[in-house]
Amino acid sequence: MIAREERVPRSLRRFAVPIGIALLAYVILVPLTSTDTAQQAGLPLLADKLWFRIATTVAMFVVMASAWNIIGGLTGYASFGNVAFFGLGAYTVGVLVSSRGWPFPLALILAPVTASLFALIVGIPLLRLRGHYFAVATLGIGVAVGELVNNLGPLGASTGLFLPIVRSDLLFFYLMLVAAAVAVLSTWLILRTRFGYGLLAIRENEEAAKIIGVNTNLYKVAAFCIAAALTGLAGGIFAQWNSFINQENVFAISDNVQMILMAVVGGAGTVLGPVAGAISLELIIQTLAGGGSKAVYSQIGLGVLLAVCVIFIPRGVIDFFGGQSRLSLQYLRQTLRETSA
């Protein structure tokens, strides 16, 4: 799967690098031209508020899709509960800033710590499960943690938490961009280490990986914690950026499905796949949402998009999951046997 990048024709690659650099330069520099100071200096305005919001959201989903990719794509454990880490990161920042009066940067450092601690606690029992069982158990985490937060008074219960508003689109855009860079870089680094090879081995055949000496439990939990830390970081930034968090906006299961879809459509198990998936899908979703006024239609759009992607382009993404596609009682038996191990 990593080898796929090398299959791109040389001529295309020659164009890809400068285009990529140009895009990156645009993304990093254009925001600078839209601030008030730039306006006063008479520089042309190249982007507006909405652009910031969308770009920041895209960067946020790049973080989440890349983080999901580490546990779902590289390790082969399809987690449907990563959104719990996002929510925990957001609530860490939310509680520390709004109730304890901590400065935002200090609180932000703790967001990934809380998320990965939680991943450590739930990961040890849950990563023994596989297939449907792991998927739904993690789905349960997302729902249950959200519900817990919704019921706890100190966490604002169902009212949610309000943070002091920080008016700086630039700051949050760059923060998310840095988080996205960290996420992509982490994936790239992991794939070049012994740890990364261990994760790929677990994905391909966990028993065989164990036999050749991979400490599978440690590796899986570590991958889960790294994914959680990155997702928690994004959540922490989101909390201050949005300045209001509640169960609905930080524990949304549909966010979790979106990050999976982005990683899968872009190419799970690759470094840049989740990035491509996040950018293209988020832009489509934003377009469907029409600026966020018609939430229902964007939900229908997402549903149709899911169906279309799954039905019509599974060949492009299916091969990584490989030979597990024969669904029979035999397979069920095997899954059950594996989960009881």
* Minimum CB distance to other proteins, residue 327 (Å): 4
Could you say whether residue 329 binds other proteins (CB under 8 A)?
A: yes
Transcribe 62-77 into DSSP letters: HHHHHHHIIIIIIS--
Query: Which part of the chain contacts other proteins (CB under 8 A), choosing from 32-40, 176-184, 272-280, 302-310?
Result: 302-310
Query: Which part of the chain contacts other proteins (CB under 8 A), choosing from 5-13, 132-140, 167-175, 215-223?
Result: 132-140
Query: Which part of the chain contacts other proteins (CB under 8 A), choosing from 16-24, 59-67, 228-236, 313-321?
Result: 313-321
Q: 273: number of CA atoms within 13 Å, CB side?
A: 29
Query: How far is residue 225 from each of residues 116, 158, 196, 313, measured CA to CA in Å?
Result: 5, 28, 14, 31
Binding mask 52-91 for other proteins (x = CB under 8 A): --------------------------x-x-----------
Could you say whether residue 286 binds other proteins (CB under 8 A)?
A: no
Amino acid at 338: E
Written as six digits, the tokens of 174 are: 């760059």
Q: Rounded distance, CA 222 to CA 217, Å?
A: 8
Could you say whether residue 223 binds other proteins (CB under 8 A)?
A: no
Query: Which part of the chain contacts other proteins (CB under 8 A), choosing from 50-58, 196-204, 217-225, 320-328?
Result: 320-328
Could you say whether residue 331 binds other proteins (CB under 8 A)?
A: yes
* Minimum CB distance to other proteins, residue 118 (Å): 14
End-to-end CA separation in angstroms for the chain: 29
Query: How far is residue 18 from each of residues 24, 25, 176, measured CA to CA in Å?
Result: 10, 10, 23
Could you say whether residue 299 binds other proteins (CB under 8 A)?
A: yes
Phi, psi (degrees; rounded to nearest 5) at 81: -120, 10
Q: Rounded distance, CA 327 to CA 132, Å?
A: 12
Query: Which part of the chain contacts other proteins (CB under 8 A), choosing from 44-52, 203-211, 281-289, 325-333?
Result: 325-333
Could you say whether residue 128 binds other proteins (CB under 8 A)?
A: yes
Could you say whether residue 205 binds other proteins (CB under 8 A)?
A: no
Question: 80 or 241, CB closer to other proteins?
Answer: 80
Any idea how long the chain is?
A: 341
Q: Where are the alpha helices (DSSP H) in 127-205?
A: 131-151, 169-191, 194-204
Query: Which part of the chain contacts other proteins (CB under 8 A), choosing from 100-108, 182-190, 279-287, 309-317?
Result: 309-317
Segment (H or E) for 52? helix 49-68
Written as six digits, the tokens of 112 are: 């990934």
* Minimum CB distance to other proteins, residue 186 (Å): 22
Segment (H or E) for 245? strand 244-245
Rg of the chain taking only CA atoms, in angstroms: 20
Could you say whether residue 141 binds other proteins (CB under 8 A)?
A: yes
State the maximum Cα–Cα separation within the chain, in Å, rounded to a whole number.
70
Could you say whether residue 257 binds other proteins (CB under 8 A)?
A: yes
Could you say whether residue 307 binds other proteins (CB under 8 A)?
A: yes
Phi, psi (degrees; rounded to nearest 5) at 244: -145, 125
Place of tokens 């309000």: 162
| Chosen residue from 143, 178, 252, 272 binding other proteins by CB under 8 A | 143
Binding site for other proteins (CB under 8 A): 78, 80, 125-126, 128-129, 131-133, 135-137, 139-141, 143-144, 147-148, 150-151, 253-254, 257, 260-261, 264, 296-297, 299-300, 302-307, 309-311, 314, 318, 321, 324-333, 336-337, 339-340
